[in-house]
Amino acid sequence: MKGIKHFMVLVGIVFWVKSSFGQTKISNSQFKTLAMNTDAVILDVRTPEEFAEGHINGQAKTLNLNYFANDFVSKVSAKVKKDQIVLVYCAAGGRSASACKDLKKAGFKKIYDLEGGYNNWE
C-alpha cells in the first residue's frame, strides 16, 4: 500500500511540474493541424536573422518576436489575445520552452510548443 501511495504522489508531482512549464509539447502533425486555424498565432521566437533564413507558415497569423528582446512578453501581449491558440517554436526547443513558461505567467492559456523546433520541422 505504501508503494502505491508513493507512486501516486510521484505521478501528481510529474503532472504538476509539466503544467508549471506552461506549454504542451506537440508533434509536427499536431502543429500543422492547429496552424490551419485562422484564429491561432504561429509565434517564431528566434532572431530576425534566423526567421529570414526560413520559417513555418500556415493559415494562422505568423509573428517573429525575438525571445531575447527585453520586452518580449509585452510585445506578444500587444499582438496576441490571451485566449488565442499560440503555436510557439524556436530552432530546437529551448527558447520556445522558456517563452511558453513566460507567456503562461503572463496569462496566456492555450500555448503549444513544437517538439524539436524548426530544426525538426518536416
Which residues participate in catalysis according to the annotation? 90
Q: Which of 31, 46, 45 is nearest to 85 (CA)?
A: 31
Distances (CA, A) of 62 to 43, 76, 99, 101: 6, 12, 16, 20
- CA–CA distance, 98 with 104 (Å, rounded to integer): 10
- SS3 category, 40: coil
In sequence order, which ranges of the chain are alpha helices (DSSP H)? Answer: 2-20, 28-35, 48-53, 72-79, 94-105
